[in-house]
Amino acid sequence: MLQGLVIKSAGFTFTVRTDDGQVHDTCRIKGNFRIRGIRTTSPVAIGDIVSIEPQADGTAWITGVQQRRNYIIRRASNLSKESQIMAANIDLAALVVTINHPKTLFTFVDRFLCTAEAYRIPACLIFNKTDLYNQEDLSELKYKEQLYHSLGYDCYRTVALQPDSTRTLAAVFKNKTVLLAGNSGVGKSTLLNQLSGQSVARTANLSTAHDKGMHTTTFTEMYQLPDGGWIIDSPGVRGFGMVDMKSEEIDHYFREIFQHAKKCRFSNCLHLNEPGCAVLKAAEEGLIDPCRMESYYSMMEECEQGKYR
């Protein structure tokens, strides 16, 4: 039996790099072991440390998963109750955001940050493609940077095709395991290629008709950085369904809402229209950004719908 790191997940086949540096690219899960407590589409995820039993034909069985330091999860699809572990054992969840080409919705950004908060994973925002922004895009960029910075999230600007603009990120990522997430076409794979110093992942232009990504990356894969550390490149996602969140806990994961919520008259206040709500008061006074409130309400709504599904 050998131990190794899952560096690629392609449906039900995994690539495992064992401690001696060997790569086993056809590993499958033996039997039906399940991880206690979470219902996921697969019990093995990228970033897991697993035990494998190599077979004579070159394939291998995955026979166990070591306990995870952490993981981040999203719902597989809107209709599904099953969730998917995006990555395990990570140091940083970096969301790649484009103000334009394609437009990233900030309800999506907030869902991602909220999930990272719920799973206690440090998160940051990478604003990419800043070379393509017009004046209006640039002023929105500035506004969002200030907002998220004030909430305690580090924000970076990059032009993934220009090596100079990714130096800061390279320093931040050094010796870490970083998950790159974001919508399709925002430049995750381009960033990965720039940071790894070689063309390891396929990239593709946006569709000219829709200014949207083409879902070029289809598997989650992990790549070693030249100065130490790992980057996980993931397929672009359309949305980000929350998992197992109750409506009364969502405000815990919006940092500024949580701060004000402590002063609400009722301890179970959902900040909808309750009397003595300190969150609504703060929002009215402009102390909480309207877009963040909108994201909060959109998540609350989804929770309510979930109740009757």
Ligand X SMILES: Nc1nc2c(ncn2[C@@H]2O[C@H](COP(=O)(O)OP(=O)(O)OP(=O)(O)O)[C@@H](O)[C@H]2O)c(=O)[nH]1
Q: Which helix (H) or strand (E) holds 301?
A: helix 290-307
Instruction: Determine the interface stretch with Mg ion among 45-53, 147-155, 184-192, 258-266 (rule: CB under 5 A).
Output: 184-192
Residue 295 is a binding residue for ligand X (CB under 6 A): no
Q: Considering the complex, what minimum distance in angstroms separates the CB of residue 9 from ligand X?
A: 15
| Residue 160 DSSP one-character state | T
Cβ distance to Zn ion smaller for residue 20 or 285: 285
Q: How many residues bind Mg ion (CB under 5 A)?
A: 4
Please give the Cα distance from 84 to 45 (Å, whole number): 9
Instruction: Report the distance separating Cα 82 and Cα 39, nearest Å.
Output: 6
Show contacts of 277-286: CB within 8 Å, 24+ apart.
279/251
Which of the ranges 49-57, 210-218, 254-262, 301-309 carries the binding residues for ligand X, by CB under 6 A? 210-218
Instruction: Choose the one of Zn ion, Mg ion, ligand X, none that binds residue 115, judging by a C-beta under 5 to 8 angstroms depending on kind.
Output: none
Q: How far apart are CB 219 and Mg ion at their closest, in Å?
A: 10
Rule CB under 6 A: is residue 217 a binding residue for ligand X?
yes
Distance, in Å, from the CA atom of 246 to the CA atom of 303, rounded to the nearest integer, reads 7
User: Residue 142 and residue 133: Cα distance in Å, rounded?
Assistant: 12
Residue 264 is a binding residue for Zn ion (CB under 5 A): yes
Residue 188 in contact with ligand X, rule: CB under 6 A: yes
Residues between 197 and 216 with contacts to Mg ion, criterion CB under 5 A: 216
Q: List the one residue from 98, 217, 220, 295 that touches Mg ion (CB under 5 A).
A: 217
Q: Are 5 and 49 in contact (CB under 8 A)?
A: yes
- Using the rule CB under 6 A, which residue among 113, 186, 222, 243 binds ligand X? 186
| Residue 187 near ligand X by CB under 6 A | yes
Q: Please give the structure tokens belonging to residue 46.
A: 């990228």
Contact 222, 179 (CB under 8 A): no
Q: Does the protein bind Zn ion through residue 46 (CB under 5 A)?
A: no
